[in-house]
Structure 1
């Protein structure tokens, strides 16, 4: 009997010929969704007769590209000419309506030049992934209502100058301490909505949620939230609502600056100096710069509301480009806020006095620099850093735990110094858990709450308690804190990067907006420190102006432009020499500086006037390396950490 063999299917190659021959005289210019940097040009495709009747600028297309099939957006429709020979046809029109608006495409091109990046990367940042089912839903446009502000906080705080608000197109407003910032923002939004559709950009999801909750108290405001916290369907639906003019107010985070709001009249940026406004992934953009570019391109009003303006914004103010509003002297003189400072990092007597006074009025907020227990340790005998075998620093996560490596998590229950063999080490750089332990012992009858990045408390009640929080994680309390204690001043203001003072100033002043108007403040800095003097003299920008002048004298940002280039240590010297030899760029090359075992970086420094030319040169280098198949460079323009 013949042995049966297993069935064998005949393999067939699928027909891959999806080309469509364009039979009309209409062609489209398309920006193609491709990560390949040197393929960033516009590509011409032909339309069939049927497609040409429905295609619009901004439509998402399915197109052949090389040997693959991808998508792209229409940025121009025109008639075929003699140069359009051998062009390929569009496979299909995917979106039922235009998604990429001409003004947004214009903004994307400007941002791509500014940040040395591929326009298609910015399009993915600006337009959420398409969900076809959402396009079938009917979107209704509600009638817009003009609401008036009920609180009148702005005239009370800023005096007669605020009457000019409606007549001035651009400006910056400094938010005072011990005043609910969001009450001011709501009032400002209500004023600006009378002019027309408004876009509000906030630093993070916590702030967006807080504003969303307060806006729900005003049913007449037709607004939508637009940020990365939304699921795919909800986000795309919100995008379509914005696109079709169904909303007159949009709130969101960084990517919301590209929201295609029709007839946009106002852009409002809240706390533009917050580090969260810096995009930490490619294309490494910054909300402030994008808002400035969009406001200039679309001729709309631009306003910044800040607890502590960045030095970049302050430079615009000092150059008279941007009008500035600070709280009036009359308002500041009427307040009764006690301010105490201490040179020691932790002056127990002064701190405890402030805390006791605060607890009589409500909860007390203590802001510390670090989370954890102890975040650094040195040998008690020879003072060398306590290190792991891998080179990582040893930290203590809890009092009962042995030292642990911050990189590989290896524990050392029987630690011994690698230099002198001592088994005793000195612990410093206290974290929030260690502070909570110490304040819990000092105030045994008072509840102690911690709030940090891993376990953040959104809100607390009005009962007296001690809240220990890391910067940016301060809970909200309805009536404000009876006292705000700002610890670790020396650690925060002396971190080893250029913006350390600027960031610390913002963190502290932003925390002080949560204070009651009769609360107490403790600053862990010397009385002579510019920040302490600025608060004592009620001149909120004094310390910022001192730092700005120092930057100007040293020719550092914001008076110059920095472009950081990272790559293999083997190549960095060659790239540095290329820029040094290019005399037409007029740039200074700083470095190379070693980052780790394999990578190094250089910083290209140029004046503001020469910055655009330098960005073009860096982008040309990126495109050249992409075309040659070389390893991509990591480029950051005006990075937050320098």
Structure 2
């Protein structure tokens, strides 16, 4: 084609990366493929920016100022009059709101998939009716099982009284592998002689199956087929296209030539049940991305209640109905993307004073009445988190207030707060 190709990412050596950066500055006709920071590259005669999976957490900068690729791409579009294309399976809530208000054009590839849901009423990993479909698919090629968790057992209950097994520090106990002693997920204290603190019984029950426990159950159910696991530090990039049981955690599914005979998403509701604001969005993306890995005549088998809307969305290959419903719900309760947010992380000892300070600023009209302050709540490393919501129209005023707070803390030689405007999640 005569078009040069350049990479800009951290896997290159510093010398190669800088060389490619200089080439991108002057090349009259080139394609630049890069990671998050490449969105800032001053490419010569730039005409188009294509962002793949803009809702990925990898597109959000972890260091200050905490910008994200989507917003920078839209700013460059307005400033430089370039085209911006967002490509992926499911748009983020922010992008969906722009589509809903016709600020972005949405194009969807219409397709019909063979997808079925199978409800598990007794807590089993594989609902009874799903076995026939899996056996049929195994006759022609590999079957992918998407498992929500790594490890062996991620939660432990007392088999007698069903109380959650906890460490003395308050962390939950888990089991890393078969016959391993329970270990605390927070402080790593092990309990080789575990005993329930409520009823003094010594028989544990594994409540949260990890991929290794799921592999045991699935290999027993479909004996005689090769078992391939892809997760954590043992990720497989691709596998041969022949009958096999392939288990993977999110983001670790290997590819196979022509696709899988079937993909099975296990414990479907658990993907939608994470306690953060992007849980639904992330689950939709995972379901569609996993479903896209089947061969043309393959099946998508979901272990999820029959009335869950994700099934019909995958059949129609259109997440629009689910997205519109969530947008409506967020609008009704004033959640992003219909409001902006600032998340403050600070020392526990300061959290209450900071919350009270923001509330006083609202009552004194130094901040607009639209400001809502939530928290403090526990964060990582013994810190506290404060979440502040405010109307988009009042954004500049609230951000200036937060900036002034940081400036005064700096003058007073106090530790600076960690501030994030519209972060990935919280």
Query: Aligning the two structures, in what range does the TM-score lie when normalised by the shorter sequence?
Result: over 0.9
* 1:357–1:520 Cα contact (<8 Å) kept: no
* 2:127–2:303 Cα contact (<8 Å) kept: no
Aligned position for 1:571: 350
Q: Give the superposed CA RMSD.
A: 1.9
Q: Deviations over 1:185-232 (max 9, x none)?
A: xxxxxxxxxxxxxxxxxxxxxxxxxxxxxxxxxxx4311111112222
Alignment of 1:612-623 (within 5 A): 612-623=396-407
* 2:258–2:295 Cα contact (<8 Å) kept: yes
Aligned position for 2:4: 222
Picking from 76, 83, 86, the partner of 1:294 is 76
Aligned position for 2:395: 611
Matched, 1:265 2:44: no
* 1:351–1:485 Cα contact (<8 Å) kept: no
Label 1:259 to 1:469 Cα distance change in 2 as closer, same or farther (>3 A): same
Alignment of 1:392-407 (within 5 A): 392-407=171-186
Structure 2 alignment gaps of length 5 or more:
none
Aligned position for 1:198: none
Deviation at 1:595, TM superposition (A): 3.0
Label 1:301 to 1:373 Cα distance change in 2 as closer, same or farther (>3 A): same
Taking structure 2 as the reference length, the TM-score comes to: 0.93
Q: Partners in 1 of 2:225 and 2:255 — Cα distance?
A: 19
SS at match of 1:450: strand
Deviation at 1:487, TM superposition (A): 1.0
Alignment of 1:311-322 (within 5 A): 311-322=93-104
Label 1:312 to 1:242 Cα distance change in 2 as closer, same or farther (>3 A): same
Matched, 1:499 2:278: yes
Q: Partners in 2 of 1:227 and 1:440 — Cα distance?
A: 40
Q: Deviations over 1:341-378 (max 9, x none)?
A: 12216343333223222223321111111001111101
Matched, 1:338 2:77: no
Label 1:588 to 1:536 Cα distance change in 2 as closer, same or farther (>3 A): same
Aligned position for 1:475: 254
Deviation at 1:596, TM superposition (A): 6.3
Label 1:458 to 1:545 Cα distance change in 2 as closer, same or farther (>3 A): same
Matched, 1:275 2:57: yes
* 1:564–1:603 Cα contact (<8 Å) kept: yes
Aligned position for 2:383: 599
Which structure would you say has the larger Rg? Answer: 1
Deviation at 1:443, TM superposition (A): 1.8
Aligned position for 1:324: 106
Aligned position for 2:153: 374
Q: Partners in 2 of 1:453 and 1:620 — Cα distance?
A: 43
Aligned position for 2:304: 525
* 2:28–2:45 Cα contact (<8 Å) kept: no
Taking structure 1 as the reference length, the TM-score comes to: 0.63
Picking from 7, 13, 16, the partner of 1:234 is 16
SS at match of 2:85: strand
Q: Partners in 1 of 2:300 and 2:351 — Cα distance?
A: 48
Q: Partners in 2 of 1:279 and 1:561 — Cα distance?
A: 18
Deviation at 1:282, TM superposition (A): 3.5
Structure 1 alignment gaps of length 5 or more:
1-144, 146-219
The answer to which structure, 1 or 2, has the higher relative contact order (CA under 8 A, 6+ apart) is 2
Q: Partners in 1 of 2:260 and 2:231 — Cα distance?
A: 18
Matched, 1:588 2:368: no
* 1:340–1:350 Cα contact (<8 Å) kept: no
Deviation at 1:238, TM superposition (A): 1.7
* 1:359–1:482 Cα contact (<8 Å) kept: yes
Alignment of 1:424-463 (within 5 A): 424-463=203-242
SS at match of 2:181: coil
